[in-house]
């Protein structure tokens, strides 16, 4: 990523999640958007799902990037230990075990599936050129936070952060530029201005906004950026670039991929940010569940209990150990193996799968239209932020209590509710992770034997032969004529 873009910071950003909230409920958006009240919960993350997702992302960020911990499970251990006991959300301990189990399986799943694609993390030098991994001065494209300038600026109040208007180029001191809204006045250093009590000399360049009622506000003109984080940029065996995104969820969902707005927005943004076009998007889903080795009965035979959480490959491996070949196994075991095969697809099993998504030029152009269309509505000074109550409010709205109180006109409850909230710092780039400061030193964690950080009896050590043929996975984008 070009340095001048990644280093820019914005006080006002647009993220895919903001856009989703904007479309979901204007009142909720008004509370939390950086363009409105900009509120966020104080203290460490207490939502166990977010906390857990951050840990898995960090483990894979390290493993596929600098790999300072040498093993994603050690990186996950470091993440867990970056929190003081009273900062850990409820259920963190159980999630620690789950994370270790998921990452253990990932370590066997990934090389087998990746042998068909040969994805490698892209490393960029300071000029944004791709270089060999670990080239001095280069960085791996993992957890790539980006700020894409949208070429839209707003006039904001220096004290309250209120947005008064979308800035019009060259509108300074033009009384007709913002009809019915106000006038933007620029006062140069050395000029005199009326500061409310008397005339004062202006020290620095100042912008003032004189609203429709004639009240003067000290303002600044602030650019808006599209903000996001790309989990990983990989290059395939033909050198084409893909954005790889990790999702942790109860179960894999593929129905949304054709319409997923993050996929479109990230490809659109990456094509502007990087020197090389993005070929597609890899949606890698890790189910929050622990894979188990195929169970055995007391007599040592393989169990055919369909409820066991195992996979086709694991069972096949045990069958080969016991019988030498699948066709020599008893029918009921072959039947169970076939049942497991039917539940899997070439893209993965019920524990981990990846899907490949592409967007054509027309789709990317439409993404841009949507982003600017939504932004323009967000900046409409007359926008009334009405609520959109649905049955999802109970689980998808962190400000539900304030929303209910607001309809009742109960200002005391609203005030009490927001005691635990604060304004998000305006100088942040949107991704401040305070726990990163408290990560245990890699050289110390690397020395801890793996058995000490995970209860190895619970986590299988599966030695697969790294063959994509075994998985049935084929890289369908193998057409060499289609190279970008
Ligand atoms: S509770 Fe529902 S209606 Fe109220 S702010 Fe939240 S999402 Fe909107």
Delimit the domains of the chain by residue range: 292-350
| Neighbour-count burial of 78, counting CB atoms closer than 10 A to its CB (0-12 exposed, 13-18 middle, 19+ buried) | buried
Distance CA 338, CA 332 (A): 10
Distance CA 348, CA 373 (A): 37
Question: What pLDDT is attached to residue 127?
Answer: 94
Calculate mean pLDDT across residues 217-221. Answer: 91
28 Cβ below 6 A of ligand 1: yes
153 three-state secondary structure: strand
Q: Sorting pLDDT into bands at 50, 70 and 90, what band is 316?
A: confident
Question: What pLDDT is attached to residue 112?
Answer: 85
Q: Considering only 122-136, 181-195, 196-210, which range has the smallest mean pLDDT?
A: 196-210
pLDDT reading at 197 higher than 70: no
pLDDT reading at 59 higher than 90: yes
Q: Sorting pLDDT into bands at 50, 70 and 90, what band is 202?
A: low
Write out pLDDT tens, residues 351-378.
999 999 999 999 999 999 999 999 999 9
Q: Which residue has the higher pLDDT, 365 or 188?
A: 365
Calculate mean pLDDT across residues 271-288. Answer: 95
111 Cβ below 6 A of ligand 1: no
399 Cβ below 6 A of ligand 1: yes
- Interior angle at CA 298, CA 297 and CA 299, nearest 5: 90
Question: What pLDDT is attached to residue 181?
Answer: 93
Rounded to the nearest whole angstrom, what is the distance from the C-alpha of residue 156 to the centroid of ligand 1? Answer: 26
Q: Which residue has the higher pLDDT, 303 or 203?
A: 303
| Residues 151-180 as b or e (16 or more Cβ within 10 Å = b) | ebbbbbeeeebebbbbbeeebeeeeebbee
Rounded to the nearest whole angstrom, what is the distance from the C-alpha of residue 394 to the centroid of ligand 1? Answer: 9
Question: What pLDDT is attached to residue 4?
Answer: 36
Question: What pLDDT is attached to residue 1?
Answer: 45
Write out pLDDT tens, residues 122-140.
999 999 999 999 999 999 9
Calculate mean pLDDT across residues 11-29. Answer: 94
Q: How many CA atoms lie within 13 A of 6 on its CB side?
A: 17
Nearest to 23 by CA among 390, 299, 318: 390
Write out pLDDT tens, residues 404-418.
999 999 999 999 999
* Residue 31 Cα: closest atom of ligand 1: 5
pLDDT reading at 7 higher than 50: no
pLDDT reading at 460 higher than 70: no
* Residue 387 Cα: closest atom of ligand 1: 3
pLDDT reading at 477 higher than 80: no
* Residue 25 Cα: closest atom of ligand 1: 8
112 Cβ below 6 A of ligand 1: no
* Residue 397 Cα: closest atom of ligand 1: 6
Question: What pLDDT is attached to residue 372?
Answer: 97
Mean of all residue pLDDT scores within the chain: 88
Calculate mean pLDDT across residues 441-454. Answer: 92
Rounded to the nearest whole angstrom, what is the distance from the C-alpha of residue 398 to the centroid of ligand 1? Answer: 9
pLDDT reading at 199 higher than 70: no
181 Cβ below 6 A of ligand 1: no
* Chain length of the chain: 484
397 Cβ below 6 A of ligand 1: yes
End-to-end CA distance of the chain: 18
400 Cβ below 6 A of ligand 1: yes
Q: Sorting pLDDT into bands at 50, 70 and 90, what band is 189?
A: confident
What would the 3-class secondary structure string for 95-136 be? HHHHHHHHHHHHHHHHHHHHHHHCCEECEECCCCCEECCCCC
CA separation (Å) from 418 to 37, 86, 378, 405? 12, 21, 23, 12
- Interior angle at CA 478, CA 275 and CA 344, nearest 5: 115
Q: Considering only 76-90, 306-320, 444-458, which range has the smallest mean pLDDT?
A: 444-458
Sorted by sequence, the CB contacts under 8 Å of residue 251 that are 6+ apart come out as 287, 350
Calculate mean pLDDT across residues 18-27. Answer: 97
Calculate mean pLDDT across residues 407-432. Answer: 85
Question: What pLDDT is attached to residue 429?
Answer: 56
Q: Considering only 2-6, 224-228, 238-242, which range has the smallest mean pLDDT?
A: 2-6
| Residues 438-459 as b or e (16 or more Cβ within 10 Å = b) | ebbebeebeeeebeebbeeeeb
Q: Which residue, judged by its Cα, is nearest atom 5 of ligand 1?
A: 28
DSSP state at residue 70: S
Q: Sorting pLDDT into bands at 50, 70 and 90, what band is 234?
A: very high
* Residue 403 Cα: closest atom of ligand 1: 4
| Neighbour-count burial of 94, counting CB atoms closer than 10 A to its CB (0-12 exposed, 13-18 middle, 19+ buried) | exposed
Rounded to the nearest whole angstrom, what is the distance from the C-alpha of residue 393 to the centroid of ligand 1? Answer: 6
Question: What pLDDT is attached to residue 292?
Answer: 82
Write out pLDDT tens, residues 79-126.
999 999 999 999 999 899 899 989 988 998 999 899 889 999 999 999
Rounded to the nearest whole angstrom, what is the distance from the C-alpha of residue 392 to the centroid of ligand 1? Answer: 9
26 Cβ below 6 A of ligand 1: no
Q: What residue has token string 């075994």?
A: 470
Rounded to the nearest whole angstrom, what is the distance from the C-alpha of residue 54 to the centroid of ligand 1? Answer: 26
| Neighbour-count burial of 18, counting CB atoms closer than 10 A to its CB (0-12 exposed, 13-18 middle, 19+ buried) | buried
């Amino acid at each position: 990523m070009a340095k001048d873009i990644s280093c820019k910071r914005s006080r006002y950003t647009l993220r895919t999640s903001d856009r989703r909230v904007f479309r979901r409920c204007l009142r909720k958006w008004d509370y939390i958007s950086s363009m409105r009240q900009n509120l966020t919960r104080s203290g460490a993350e207490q939502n166990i799902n977010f906390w857990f997702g951050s840990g898995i992302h960090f483990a894979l960020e390290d493993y596929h990037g600098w790999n300072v911990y040498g093993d994603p499970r050690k990186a996950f251990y470091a993440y867990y230990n970056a929190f003081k006991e009273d900062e850990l959300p409820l259920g963190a301990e159980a999630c620690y075990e789950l994370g270790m189990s998921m990452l253990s399986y990932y370590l066997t799943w990934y090389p087998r599936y990746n042998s068909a694609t040969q994805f490698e993390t892209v490393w960029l030098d300071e000029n944004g050129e791709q270089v060999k991994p670990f080239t001095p001065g280069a960085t791996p494209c993992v957890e790539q936070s980006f700020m894409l300038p949208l070429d839209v600026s707003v006039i904001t109040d220096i004290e309250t952060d209120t947005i008064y208007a979308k800035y019009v180029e060259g509108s300074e001191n033009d009384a007709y530029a913002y009809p019915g809204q106000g006038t933007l006045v620029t006062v140069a250093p050395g000029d005199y201005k009326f500061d409310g009590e008397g005339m004062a000399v202006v020290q620095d360049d100042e912008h003032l906004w004189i609203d429709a009622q004639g009240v003067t506000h000290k303002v600044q003109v602030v650019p808006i950026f599209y903000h996001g984080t790309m989990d990983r940029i990989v290059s395939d065996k033909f050198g084409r670039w893909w954005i790889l995104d990790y999702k942790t969820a109860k179960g894999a969902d593929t129905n949304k991929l054709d319409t997923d707005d993050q996929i479109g927005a990230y490809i659109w943004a990456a094509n502007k940010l990087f020197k090389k076009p993005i070929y597609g998007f890899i949606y890698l889903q890790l189910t929050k569940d622990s894979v188990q080795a195929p169970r055995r009965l007391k007599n040592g035979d393989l169990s055919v209990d369909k409820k066991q959480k195992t996979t086709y490959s694991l069972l096949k491996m045990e069958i080969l150990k016991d019988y030498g070949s699948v066709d020599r196994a008893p029918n009921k075991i072959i039947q169970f193996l076939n049942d497991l095969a039917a539940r899997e697809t070439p893209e993965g099993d019920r524990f981990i799968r990846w899907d490949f998504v592409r967007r054509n030029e027309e789709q990317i152009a439409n993404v841009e239209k949507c982003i600017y269309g939504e932004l323009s509505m967000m900046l409409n000074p007359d926008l009334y932020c009405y609520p959109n109550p649905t049955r999802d409010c109970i689980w998808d709205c962190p400000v539900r209590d304030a929303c209910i109180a607001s309809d009742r006109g109960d200002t005391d409850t609203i005030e009490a509710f927001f005691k635990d909230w604060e304004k998000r710092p305006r100088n942040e780039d949107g991704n401040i992770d305070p726990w990163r400061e408290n990560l245990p030193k890699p050289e110390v964690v690397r020395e801890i034997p793996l058995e000490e950080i995970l209860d190895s009896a619970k986590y299988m050590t599966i030695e697969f032969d790294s063959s994509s043929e075994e998985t049935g996975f084929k890289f369908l984008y193998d057409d060499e004529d289609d190279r970008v």
